[in-house]
Amino acid sequence: DVKVTQSSRYLVKRTGEKVFLECVQDMDHENMFWYRQDPGLGLRLIYFSYDVKMKEKGDIPEGYSVSREKKERFSLILESASTNQTSMYLCASERGRGGETQYFGPGTRLLVL
């Protein structure tokens, strides 16, 4: 069974703090993704990575950065958290390219005060 884990289920941070969200997958998947989920908007892609040390911007990258130093780990970084980044963050991994199944972690619910 594919397992995608996220470092925290709930997180409360203050405006201006640097926030790290960690994601680890155990199935040697090449591709990893970060989404944010907001009511009425579905999931929106923030960043993705097809290989170690490789990253590409998704649809809403502003205010975020990512790091992928190891194949199994993909980190999302909020350099200076703002209240409009309060959201549910979902990580996913996928084998290969082109229409494969994405496997999701349980999500991190982030509240920025």
**Among candidates 21, 8, 3, 14, which has minimal Cα distance to 92?**
3
Task: Please report whether residue 107 would count as binding another protein according to CB under 8 A.
Answer: yes
Tell me how far CA of residue 71 lies from CA of 24, 47, 53, 85, in angstroms: 9, 15, 9, 26
Residue 1 near another protein by CB under 8 A: no
Question: Under rule CB under 8 A, which residues in 61-90 are in contact with another protein?
Answer: 90
The type of residue at 85 is: Q
| Interface mask toward another protein for 20-39; x: CB under 8 A | -------------x-x----
Which residues of this chain interact with another protein, rule CB under 8 A? 4, 33, 35, 40-45, 48, 58, 90, 92, 97-99, 101-107
